[in-house]
């Protein structure tokens, strides 16, 4: 971290970021397009679900009282007087000593308060022999059993899952008010960068970060807007940054350290407010953050691993919050046993990529790499990472640690 006047602690950097972001405004969308979106208001059902009493099994609608005492040795005989079909309202009525045949989901006839399963009957001409005693309500799905009219079925701040889309369909809630998805501009800086598939000349490298960061944005619900590769020149940087500010968030990849061509933080300071430059994080230390025209701007390292680590630590939480979710939304953590020691230095948070597997009903974690900001395979081989706090000089072999899964 040589060259930084000061370094902001990771936890303080995250606090600064979260203090400057808030949920975006809301928009109305069709329910079938709302998967993964976050509700901006409660959803209240206007109807009972199911909207009528219906059979929960294939069988016969009966009066429960007509079956009291029935068994295989002492069956009760009932006369079958009709049938009820699914999707068709029935006008039939069950009277004493009668039964109506019906299938699962068919509306219950008037007078019936239970359904005897087909398996518990024997057909005897126009009659059935009931082989089991029933109580009122047996095998009946009552009106409003699932949802009552006026009930809150989904809450503000809830991210919609497939089952939630199904609920919206069941209550015919055709449009939902959701928080807008953040539009995130991604700027890759560096005269040496070339698009994937380009034949490289000496000194040139393939652009990685625009694509990995775009995928990262999409993975947490944002809308990625990758812009053209930008040279390490102030005029070009100023022009593309001003264009990028049409979005809700700006990510600048490269030019965030303290070298001659690292101009991104200076550009943020010139056009707005630079809140920090340099974080106690490895990899990802050369990270900066500021506000330009009310928009959060993150300056990330050019090395792919450092860029993605800083994204996970600082950018992803901000994108969650802008959608109305907690900053640690979607974080899956497991407790594992280290297979070998991890060395670290005081004063910074080390992000150690690890491989996780199960052995003898125990989860084990093998450290892959701590250093190597440009070794992308250390992430593709990993299942997650562990954080070594600033005040700890590593972890010993056999220690139980918490792994955050990718």
Res 258 pLDDT > 70: no
The number of residues making up the chain comes to 406
Q: pTM here? A: 0.89
Is the peptide bond prior to 50 cis by the omega test (within 30 degrees of 0)?
yes
What CATH number has the domain spanning 10-25+181-322?
3.40.980.10
User: 385 with 308: CB under 8 angstroms?
Assistant: no
pLDDT one-digit tens code per residue, 274-330: 999 999 999 999 999 999 999 999 999 999 999 999 999 999 999 999 999 999 998
| Mean pLDDT, range 74-83, rounded to an integer | 96
What percent of the chain has a predicted confidence (pLDDT) above 90? Answer: 88
Per-residue pLDDT of 161-202, as tens digits, reads: 999 999 999 999 999 999 999 999 999 998 898 999 999 999
54-141 belongs to CATH 2.40.50.140: no
- Tell how strand 249-253 and strand 295-300 pair up: parallel
Task: Name the DSSP class of 293.
Answer: T
pLDDT range class, residue 260, cuts 50, 70, 90 = low
Q: Which of these ranges, 29-38, 226-235, 339-348, 365-374, has the smallest mean pLDDT?
A: 365-374
Residue indicated by tokens 């230390």: 285
pLDDT for 3 beyond 60: no
Q: Which residues contact 37 (CB under 8 A, 6 or more apart)?
A: 29, 159, 160, 176, 178, 179, 181, 221, 323
Topology (CATH) of 333-405: Beta-clip (2.40.340)
Q: What's the chain's average pLDDT?
A: 94
Half-sphere exposure of 213 (CA within 13 A, CB side): 37
pLDDT at 27 > cutoff 80: yes
| Alpha-carbon dihedral 62, 64, 69, 74, rounded to 10 degrees | 0
| Residue spans per domain, the chain | 10-25+181-322, 26-49+145-179, 54-141, 333-405
Q: Are strands 400-405 and 333-338 parallel, antiparallel or unpaired?
A: antiparallel
The CATH homologous superfamily of the domain defined by 26-49+145-179: Molybdopterin biosynthesis moea protein, domain 2 (3.90.105.10)
């Amino acid at each position: 971290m040589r060259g930084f006047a000061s370094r902001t602690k990771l936890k303080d950097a995250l606090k600064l970021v979260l203090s400057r972001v808030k949920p975006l405004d809301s928009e109305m969308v069709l329910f079938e397009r709302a998967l993964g979106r976050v509700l901006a208001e409660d959803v209240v059902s206007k109807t009972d679900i199911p909207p009528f009493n219906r059979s929960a099994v294939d069988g016969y609608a009966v009066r429960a009282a007509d079956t009291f005492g029935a068994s295989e040795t002492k069956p009760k005989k009932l006369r079958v007087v009709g049938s009820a079909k699914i999707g068709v309202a029935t006008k039939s009525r069950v009277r004493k000593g009668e039964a109506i045949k019906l299938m699962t989901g068919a509306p219950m006839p008037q007078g019936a308060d239970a359904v005897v399963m087909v398996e518990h009957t024997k057909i005897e001409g126009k009659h059935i022999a009931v082989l089991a005693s029933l109580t009122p309500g047996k095998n009946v799905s009552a009106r409003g059993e699932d949802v009552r009219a006026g009930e809150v079925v989904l809450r503000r701040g809830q991210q919609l899952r497939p089952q939630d889309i199904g609920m919206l369909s069941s209550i015919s809630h055709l449009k939902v008010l959701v928080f807008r998805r953040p539009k995130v501009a991604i700027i890759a800086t560096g005269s040496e960068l070339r698009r994937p598939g380009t034949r490289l000349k000496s000194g040139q490298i393939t652009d990685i970060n625009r694509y990995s960061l775009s995928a990262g944005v999409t993975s947490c619900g944002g809308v990625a807007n990758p812009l053209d590769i930008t040279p390490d020149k102030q005029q070009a940087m100023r022009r593309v940054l001003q264009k990028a500010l049409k979005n809700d968030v700006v990510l600048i990849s490269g030019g965030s350290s303290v070298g001659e061509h690292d101009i991104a933080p200076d550009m943020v300071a010139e056009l707005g407010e630079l809140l920090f430059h340099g974080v106690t994080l490895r990899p990802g230390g050369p990270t900066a953050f500021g506000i330009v025209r009310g928009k959060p701007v993150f300056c990330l390292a050019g090395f792919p691993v450092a860029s993605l680590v800083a994204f996970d630590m600082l950018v992803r939480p901000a994108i969650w919050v802008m959608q109305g979710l907690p900053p640690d939304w979607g974080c899956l953590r497991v407790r594992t046993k280290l297979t070998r020691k991890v060395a670290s230095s005081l004063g910074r948070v080390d992000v150690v990529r690890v491989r996780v597997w199960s052995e003898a009903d125990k989860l084990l974690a093998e450290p892959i790499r701590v250093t190597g900001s440009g070794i992308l395979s250390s992430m593709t081989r990993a299942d997650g990472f562990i954080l070594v706090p600033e005040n700890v000089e590593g972890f010993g072999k056999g220690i139980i640690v918490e792994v955050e899964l990718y």
